[in-house]
Copies of this chain bind each other. A is one copy, B any other.
């Protein structure tokens, strides 16, 4: 195979030559550029991406939550598990044998960009990335959570470059209650930073975030055991799980990345009427971060360009990552529907 390595494509565009049958083959790259950010002016940034699938296939961008990254699924080049394992796979709507799947690390994800980052900035970064890769137009943009917000901005700011949008569990603006929840997570980080317990604070923030990502139904089923008194302190059944979730997150997330991307969700505000790309909005009933009513508001604002799919899941905001079969069915349907100029 003739894949460029990440090092080889760094700083310059290397045309890709991918065998037609190499559906799972992939290439990574990164390059430096300067972006003008909405809240912080011109800043040097590095853009990092991974592209998997046939070179001649239509390109679909897949963008996830603030903890997601460019590696969506294991492939022949990069064997580690990705964050959308099971959704990007043979036989799925996002099958690398028939589509080229592009994913990228969000601006700020490396912790090196310690300024307010807007979802508009992410959309502009993607446009620069597409130029870099010689991709004129996307067959689709599938965004989940934060990725859905970025997709909305991309549809507004780079209208001519995308045929359809699937926006899962992300509204045109954050709900004030969810924004307050995130603000308190950021305060937990700040408390940790007071005296060199930065990772402790980040862990606590992540644990609070987990409560917003999941549902009481799931906790009710999993953590039904009676509390224990350990060393004179009460310890409830979910604490082992929360400890593990916090520790795992701290091990892979720079504090500044967490803070700036969390803020970025709260900065997001777009006018749905400004989106004129066919858009499938997917809502999860029971999502405690993104209420169904807000996604109904988004669809109403989209007018003729919007349609709504609702699913109920005990996984709440995390349903996209957990309800693989049901999400895949929704994506398959979305890609069967003709996009504009598809």
Contacts and interface: CB of A to CB of B under 8 A. Distances in A.
Interface of A: 39, 115-116, 175-184, 187-188, 191-192, 194-197, 200-201, 204, 207-208, 211, 215-216, 219-220, 222-224, 226-227, 229, 232-239, 242, 263, 266-267, 269, 291
Q: How many identical subunits does the complex contain?
A: 2
B229 A39 contact: yes
B266 A236 contact: yes
A237 B181 CA distance: 12
A329 to B, nearest CB: 29
Contact of A204 (B188, B197, B224, B269): B188
Given A116-B234, A195-B192, A195-B197, A204 B223 contact: no
Given A232-B115, A235-B183, A226 B269 contact: yes
B237 A208 contact: no
Contacts of A201: 191
Contacts of A219: 175-177, 180
A288 to B, nearest CB: 8
Task: Decide if the interface of chain A is mainly helix, strand, loop or mixed.
Answer: helix
Contacts of A242: 180, 183-184
Nearest to A116: B229
Contacts of A229: 39, 116, 267
A196 B191 CA distance: 10
Contacts of A234: 116, 263, 266-267
Nearest to A238: B180
A255 to B, nearest CB: 13
Given A179-B237, A195-B196, A229-B116, A187 B216 contact: no
- In the A-B complex, list the 5 residue pairs whose CB atoms are closest, starting with the nearest: A177-B216, A234-B263, A177-B219, A180-B238, A176-B223
B208 A197 contact: no
11 contacts: A116-B229, A116-B232, A175-B219, A176-B216, A176-B219, A177-B211, A180-B239, A184-B242, A191-B195, A192-B195, A195-B196
Most B Cβ at <10 Å: residue of A183, A188, A219, A236: A236
Contacts of A226: 269
A239 B183 contact: yes
B211 A180 contact: yes
A239 B234 CA distance: 30
A208 B184 contact: yes
Given A220-B177, A223-B176, A232-B115, A211 B238 contact: no
Contact of A181 (B39, B211, B222, B266): B211
B188 A238 contact: no
Contacts of A238: 176-177, 179-180, 183
A194 B207 CA distance: 18
Contacts of A188: 188, 191, 204
Nearest to A196: B195
A289 B239 CA distance: 17
A195 B232 CA distance: 21
Contact of A197 (B194, B233, B235, B269): B194
